[in-house]
Amino acid sequence: MGQKILVVEDNELNLKLFCDLLRAHAYGVEPVRDGREAVATARSFVPDLIVMDIQMPHISGLELIEQIKADADLQAIPIMAVTAYAAKGDEERIRDAGAEGYVSKPISVLKFVAAVRSLLEAAAARAEAEPDEMPVQMEAEAEETESPEPETQEAAAPEGEAAPEETPGDEERGEESR
């Protein structure tokens, strides 16, 4: 199974279409028909992407997007809104709520799959970039917490003994010779 996608859609035909299309492209899919179950299912399924209908009974997709983006455990999951909304400003409202992608219904199969792929690639690129930042930070923290080295060799020599004298080339060998 490839990357996992949670599909939140109350219309059976659309749900089947989205799930079949995603499965045909080797994605693992978890369908959710009732938006009230979306957050709990996202927690247990841990998807790489959420495809979210906006017009649903009981709770709107906009409300769900806001809930997911407010949840520390779920907020990093990209959301692609799929909606029949066509009014001016709707896409902006949906993106302002936190959706990273937007596809209008009726969908173009090619555009739908391209949008899914693009969002997953962007999320993977972000995930790869995050670990690169950690070693630099961890390295800096390690330098701060390491026990300080003696400032001079004389300070490191036991009492009553003279520190060995440096010979030319010690600087080039660096830490290996010490």
Amino acid code (one letter) for 64: L
Residue type, 61: G
Does residue 140 sit within a domain? Answer: no
User: Rg of the chain over CA atoms, in angstroms?
Assistant: 27
> Residue 98 domain-assigned?
yes
Q: What is the span of the domain harbouring residue 40?
A: 4-133
Task: Specify the residue for token string 């080295």.
Answer: 149
Across the range 26-51, mean pLDDT stands at: 97
Taking the C-alpha atoms of residue 38 and residue 61, their distance in angstroms, rounded to an integer, is 10
76-134 residue pLDDT tens: 999 999 998 667 888 899 999 999 999 999 999 999 999 999 999 999 998 888 764 44
Q: What per-residue confidence (pLDDT) applies to 1?
A: 63
Evaluate whether residue 178 is within a structural domain: no
pLDDT for 175 beyond 60: no
Task: Residue 6: name the closest of 60, 53, 57, 56 by CA.
Answer: 53
Residue 158 lies in a domain: no
* Dist. CA 110–CA 112, nearest whole Å: 5
* CATH code (residue 29): 3.40.50.2300
Structure tokens at 132: 């690169």
Q: How many domains does the chain have?
A: 1
Task: Assess whether pLDDT exceeds 60 at residue 42.
Answer: yes
Asked whether residue 9 carries a pLDDT value surpassing 60, the answer given is yes
**Residue at 79 is within a domain:** yes
Residue 162 forms part of a structural domain: no
pLDDT: which is higher, 1 or 58: 58
Q: Which amino acid is at 73?
A: D
The pLDDT mean for the chain works out to 81
Q: What is the pLDDT of residue 84?
A: 86
* 94, part of any domain: yes
